Amino acid sequence: MLPYNLEEELVSYCLMMERKFFGLTTKSIKRRAFELAIQNGLVRPFPVQQGRAGWKWPRKFMCRHPRLRLHKPQATSAARVKGLAK
């Protein structure tokens, strides 16, 4: 549903968030995909009333990009992040 360049932008966003120790959930990826589609003027790529991509889309997206991981966000202190980043 998203063109290749927007999908790659979404992948780079997900990888950046992972490097910053933010957890990626299905809901956050669906919301970000919807936002990218609206920002780039795509006509009805996803259901507008939900404000995010449909329930089938994330599974297919994750299959196309196996380097991404979904995990529950954990509370991480700034000191711990600093220690992990070394």
pLDDT of 4-60, one tens digit each?
898 999 999 988 888 877 777 888 888 888 888 888 888 766 777 777 888 888 888
Residue 69 contacts residue 18 (beta carbons within 8 Å): yes
Rounded Cα gap, residues 46 and 53, in angstroms: 5
Q: Is the pLDDT of residue 77 over 90?
A: no
Rounded Cα gap, residues 30 and 28, in angstroms: 5
Residue with tokens 């995990």: 71
Inter-CA distances, 47 with 11, 20, 39, 55, Å = 21, 30, 15, 11
